[in-house]
Structure 1
């Protein structure tokens, strides 16, 4: 890190003696014009949907880097605004007719089974016995072990999707996201999922089936292999209907009965060995594509705290182009998802740069790649830190798809209940005349579905704001999710409320500023699930 200018710091003693201003005292004006201009550029057809690893994404990355440079921010990576991320993209070779055989009965991909590509094993034929494991959850802290008493060594785990009804939503979402890890720890070689009735009510089988046909992506690790957190889990699939019945054949249990049991609050179907042998046959075509995270830093002004960093992050990528589009519009512009998050990031960066008072802690700004492919750019950044020697990441503020079509009266602060970031978020919201509300979509598991979660997994407290459901919020939010989310219609023609966009940026600036200027770094609360799981030895705070 370069030394601080004498214009900011004349001597250590003087710095320590000077009181640091509050976020309210240093808050610059944040208007809507620049936000509108940034979204307009990033969501333009010329960027072809900003798919990670494409020319359109690289243009967007160059734009963000130019904006960082114009604001006077510094490069955290020597002589570069970019952290290279090589993506490994795997596609099913449909000519090889991927399939699953259950008890000798073959099911072609797309019937009652859905299997995707697997980059670590391009040509695969694997066969093993299977064991039903209920929901397939494991947590020592929550005293949950769906694998207790079951022999999974060298076998497929067969698990229901999601978590039991009535489980706290964020804990349930986390444990559901960790199913592959639980299966690997039990000795399994694969994980087959049976969607529950509730899950199918939210996500029809047709969408599950079609999603599996899409390319799968990872980042290339130092050993040259696509990174996976659970390398022992070699075979994954989702099954329903006749394929699920075939798995359960001879067990005395039916798919209908298990699904009915799973719908009851708190119900936990017990595991049992399955009779049929399962075989997966598939061939994947694997290609690599270069991409990059765009990074910049604003060095902190306090010598005692400048080695601590607050990460402000948004994902830059979207879905690219519709491959088989028949109409004139084939571009997934991603105006709300997530040009709006990047525009907010740039507005907050500008506010910091023009405040006239540098924050005490350093601020790391990151526009990350491949979120749509599985939070890959943020995972790469979390696994490959860029901070200088002695630098420590203390908190994360994530900006992902604020719905800005209405004047929101409240926000949902995911992560607020888990750490001392909660009171900071509440204070920032209150200053803008809005309130914090509980998660209105617990079944969606949003806490685990955006980039901040990759840093939670590394033990760092994180916060992710969503515009809320008060007043006109529910109708506007649900309309976007139903009509425009991941659709060609997510573009500048949406009825943006630009005053709301500026307000959202002001709230996030106040949060980041407060984190950066607080005497004490964010801490997990004592007894919190995520703090205990990912930062068991870190100092904890008592929850108010």
Structure 2
């Protein structure tokens, strides 16, 4: 990361909140010395070298290598005295692959008495994150300039229930999942689609803003039912409820825009005019009605596990602090001219998983347990869209209302030895982090760059449920999502120090007399 690290907490917290929280971070909540001595770089190296070995073939979700990693983690939890939540440390959830039902697929526009049907896939293509459903005679609304947070959505006009939204977005390099030019990664396209479904939107048409002279085509996705050379391996695994969580979503090309606006240039001019207006723009397009339909057929269903262990609290066992890290990566992909095809994922995220294991070992071996429980979760499916954490919050093995906070370790083993990027939701949690960082013999320089990646790791699933979260991350590097992300490139001293800081924060949260109520 090239940006300057920015210290946290400049004048953010009021004096009463600081006193409330830091009063609970006195010596009685300090991590016992016996536990602090357990954070050994050699142990971290041992865990990473197994998880990131060629034997595990990149730990894709699903794969045999992923199950080997899950067995390794579960056995360690058992050995260190953590209890299973239920009958097993494995908490499986289902993933499905679906193809389109070609006979139930259409996108039509009615202009008065004239009905025009877009040709699929030439004029429009269903997006991979689409839901299923159908609608008739739906009004069409142009939507652009989404804010970075759904809570800040104050549109220029109401968004009618039952409408189809024409969402304008830019082709930002490396940000294909970002909703519009103004939106940060905190709210991905997926997050906005879920929000729209909850607010009654029936369908979404995604339109990129074309460059001058560019012939705009719909974004392609290799659905087997639309392909001349069908293969189910091109289909993503998704949670079974994906079809009900979001509206029907099509990417549209120039032919559709020409029908709607007369020309692509006219569409571009309208978009540019709206850019000067404040806030989100909702512009009804009168005289146009939309008919659309999309349905799936299930091709394949598999089960994959999250791994869950609990350190049971003494006096408030029903309340818990959750520490998580994803243990999956992206598997094996052969690239032209590259001999190594295994994406070992040492930093992403064998490092965070090793940190989780260091904490579990250190705290699990303590003779005296904390007041609240501490739950350790190794998530699968993160690389496929936070699937494991989304499945966890949808069907939690423990009530989410009793979760005091969620701490997430993702990529914690690279870059400058003293830099640590954080994302925090909950001002009181930030105060605990600051206090515990200052208490380290070698504190980290805490930076805010993790906010840019806030929606791209498992803590986001918990933040959406109003749970305070802390995201610890040491930044991107040239080996990110490359076969060259190998175990020997990690700084194991730094990894162990990050894990120690997370353990100190978790122990403080699990032992302080009271925590602020959820907002």
Specify the TM-score bucket, using the shorter chain as the normaliser.
0.7 to 0.9
In the alignment, the residues of structure 1 paired with residue 275 and residue 257 of structure 2 have an alpha-carbon distance, to the nearest angstrom, of 18
Q: 2:308: which partner in 1?
A: 295
Q: 1:315: which partner in 2?
A: 326
In the alignment, the residues of structure 2 paired with residue 157 and residue 207 of structure 1 have an alpha-carbon distance, to the nearest angstrom, of 16
Q: Summarize the Cα distance change of 1:183–1:308 in structure 2 as closer, same or farther, 3 Å threshold.
A: closer
The answer to whether the aligner puts 1:228 opposite 2:242 as a matched pair is yes
Q: 1:505: which partner in 2?
A: 499
In the alignment, the residues of structure 2 paired with residue 497 and residue 112 of structure 1 have an alpha-carbon distance, to the nearest angstrom, of 50
Give deviations 1:86-124, integer Å, cap 9, x for gaps. Answer: 11122568x999886777464554x67553457975xx8
Q: 2:89: which partner in 1?
A: 81
Q: 1:42: which partner in 2?
A: 51
Structure 1 residue 126: deviation in Å? 7.1
Contact 2:217–2:252, Cα closer than 8 Å, also in 1: no
Q: 1:474: which partner in 2?
A: none
Aligned-partner SS, 2:46:
helix
Contact 1:244–1:255, Cα closer than 8 Å, also in 2: no
In the alignment, the residues of structure 2 paired with residue 485 and residue 21 of structure 1 have an alpha-carbon distance, to the nearest angstrom, of 36
Q: Summarize the Cα distance change of 1:319–1:246 in structure 2 as closer, same or farther, 3 Å threshold.
A: farther
Q: Which of 246, 266, 271 lines up with 2:258 in the alignment?
A: 246
Give deviations 1:396-445, integer Å, cap 9, x for gaps. Answer: 1011223x2323433232125x331101111233323223222x375x4x
Structure 1 residue 463: deviation in Å? 1.0
Q: Summarize the Cα distance change of 1:166–1:99 in structure 2 as closer, same or farther, 3 Å threshold.
A: closer
Structure 1 residue 129: deviation in Å? 5.0
The answer to whether the aligner puts 1:52 opposite 2:61 as a matched pair is yes
Structure 2: which 5+ runs fail to align?
Answer: 1-26, 110-114, 170-177, 225-233
Q: Summarize the Cα distance change of 1:362–1:420 in structure 2 as closer, same or farther, 3 Å threshold.
A: same
Q: 1:427: which partner in 2?
A: 435
In the alignment, the residues of structure 2 paired with residue 461 and residue 372 of structure 1 have an alpha-carbon distance, to the nearest angstrom, of 23
In the alignment, the residues of structure 1 paired with residue 218 and residue 504 of structure 2 have an alpha-carbon distance, to the nearest angstrom, of 39
Q: Summarize the Cα distance change of 1:387–1:352 in structure 2 as closer, same or farther, 3 Å threshold.
A: same
Q: 1:410: which partner in 2?
A: 419
Q: 2:237: which partner in 1?
A: 217
Aligned-partner SS, 2:269:
helix
Aligned-partner SS, 1:271:
strand
In the alignment, the residues of structure 2 paired with residue 309 and residue 83 of structure 1 have an alpha-carbon distance, to the nearest angstrom, of 18
Contact 2:130–2:248, Cα closer than 8 Å, also in 1: no
In the alignment, the residues of structure 2 paired with residue 516 and residue 496 of structure 1 have an alpha-carbon distance, to the nearest angstrom, of 30
Q: 5 Å matches for 1:522-533?
A: 522-524=516-518, 531=519
Give deviations 1:139-196, integer Å, cap 9, x for gaps. Answer: 8964613651x5452x4211124567677x58xx348654224433453321122346
Structure 1: which 5+ runs fail to align?
Answer: 1-18, 199-204, 220-225, 469-476, 525-530, 532-544
Structure 1 residue 320: deviation in Å? 2.2
Contact 1:133–1:146, Cα closer than 8 Å, also in 2: no
In the alignment, the residues of structure 1 paired with residue 274 and residue 40 of structure 2 have an alpha-carbon distance, to the nearest angstrom, of 49
In the alignment, the residues of structure 2 paired with residue 28 and residue 328 of structure 1 have an alpha-carbon distance, to the nearest angstrom, of 41
Contact 1:245–1:254, Cα closer than 8 Å, also in 2: no
Q: 1:5: which partner in 2?
A: none
Structure 1 residue 55: deviation in Å? 1.5
Question: TM-score of the superposition, structure 1-length normalised?
Answer: 0.73
Structure 1 residue 285: deviation in Å? 4.9
Aligned pairs, how many? Answer: 462
Q: Which of 130, 133, 144 lines up with 2:142 in the alignment?
A: 133
Q: Which of 508, 514, 528 lines up with 2:508 in the alignment?
A: 514
Contact 2:334–2:340, Cα closer than 8 Å, also in 1: no
Contact 1:135–1:163, Cα closer than 8 Å, also in 2: no
Question: TM-score of the superposition, structure 2-length normalised?
Answer: 0.76
In the alignment, the residues of structure 1 paired with residue 421 and residue 268 of structure 2 have an alpha-carbon distance, to the nearest angstrom, of 36
Contact 1:307–1:391, Cα closer than 8 Å, also in 2: no
Aligned-partner SS, 1:133:
strand
Q: 1:437: which partner in 2?
A: 447
Q: Summarize the Cα distance change of 1:25–1:460 in structure 2 as closer, same or farther, 3 Å threshold.
A: same
In the alignment, the residues of structure 2 paired with residue 82 and residue 344 of structure 1 have an alpha-carbon distance, to the nearest angstrom, of 19
The alignment's C-alpha RMSD in Å is 3.9
Q: 1:4: which partner in 2?
A: none
